[in-house]
Structure 1
Amino acid sequence: MVNIRDLDPSASPLDYYGSELRRLREDAGLKQGQLGEIVFCTASLVGQVETARKVPTRDFSERVDAALGTGGVFSRLAGLVLRSQLPTWFQAYAEMEAKAAYISTFQAQLVYGLLQTPEYARALLGVDRPRQVDELVAARMERQRILEREHPPALWVVLAEAVLHQQVGGHEVMRDQLAHLLGFLESSWVQVQVLPFSVGQHTGMLGSFTLLRFDDDPDLIYEEGYAQGHMTANPAVIRERSVGYARLQAAALSPERSAALIARVVEERYGHRPGPDERAMA
């Protein structure tokens, strides 16, 4: 086992978290097993976090803060640790996404990450990186916390109808994911539209993209690729994509008609029409 004293706390957010956890645990006079009992986990898990072999969840961090009386230190560190688990090329986008005042996205194949359920995300992320799926799912759920702020960004999502039919994770996962989308129908900050098959050819057929707008910084556009995404502030590109996005919005079904289509797909393809009491709350 790696000796925590050999770790360099400056090497990564995970190493820093682990070194601080051991330091503050020892300052409190607790063994790993004793802290584990307090926060309802095993001594092994505490040891793995302290040696940077396990990524701590937000729930674990909040319980450790309560147990050690650290005033939220680990809860704050959890965000940095989880973000560091994202692919390196994606971390810059996630940082800007968290600062955006307005997010407008077109998704040709998948539900946008901020609206994914944990099970849907797990099915997607487990395809290429099954050994890291727990950390990757936790990082994606951490991104979604921006929608829980007192003043969240305005999020407008246009989904190609194909997204509703591309089965990810099986019938139950898709049923729950689409029900989750329906839960945003009454949201003041999140709007979901579906671009139906009947539209035919459209500007979004070139691929998924996201526009980020800020209160005090230049707009950005993020375009997805097979290996990695690309982000730019080029005014010409942003102008072109902004016009394209407006066309997609105009061609898409209204949020109300989109919700009706989603509910119909759930019933016809996944075997159940979700009722109001089953829809996830936005």
Structure 2
Amino acid sequence: MDHSRVSNSNQLDYNMDSKHGKMLPCNDDRLDSGVDSLSEESYNSILNEMERLSMASTVSREYCNEPWKLERTEDGDTLLHLAIIHEAEDYAKQMIEHSRNDQFLNTQNHQRQTPLHLAVIMEQPQIVDRLLKAGCDPKLVDESGNTALHIACKKGSLHCFSVLTQACTQQLPSILATPNYSGHHCLHLVSIHGFLSMVERLIDLGADINAQEQCNGRSPLHLAVDHQNLELVKLLIAKGANVNSLTYGGYTAYHLTYGRLNTEIQQQLYNLTDQELRELPESEAEDSEEEALSDDDMMYDDFLWMGQK
């Protein structure tokens, strides 16, 4: 069994500092479980404890109040977290069954991950389904502000995505409108990674196609141009994306085609963008530099060289 840390790959992204016009690195979400701090000996001890508990279907409901729910590792993981991490599905299912509508299902470890977050990270759609039916809260966020659906969108986990969107119909509008701590909505994440079917599904489910990142105001269409994804550009335009949407720095999606190789994207957006919005806005940095030079000229206008100004 592989006990290696569950982690996401680095995501190349950037933010725009709207005041100074500078590109800043966006903090990437950290999706790991802390599992590698668990030694083999500790893991085997926990498995033995699970065996001792004998979580069989014949156990009475009163057993739900037994101390096993209070067990925690040094990372804050419960036995349910560990069963999911180590793919012990039978134990996980039994614990879920004996914890229906119990806050135990929403226990967050030291990275604020619930069992639901870990079930998505570990690609366990059946466990995701059981957790949701048993009363797990899909709106809870981890230390990076991600709901379970954010994680499914970032990973491109279509099975978990389908379970979450079908089972969370009441909470879905709130989740789709919630950005993580990097400023990304679910639609931004699937756009960044080019998951076209998930982009289309989220829009059909009511996600705001023109939602702006909190980092710098990019819409999904801006992101599609950033990543030179022609098919995504076409899909978003067909779905009604606003081509005249401006970032916080005043840039349309067409402006982002400057210096890029895909001329077809540029031509499509040129034809659709309002004429008055096609010209690049003046650079704030250039304006600041010109102002600084003007101030310097005024500061030294009385400097004499060989008796002359």
Q: TM-score range by the shorter chain?
A: under 0.3
Structure with the bigger percentage of helix: 1
Structure with bigger RCO (C-alpha 8 Å, 6+ apart)? 1
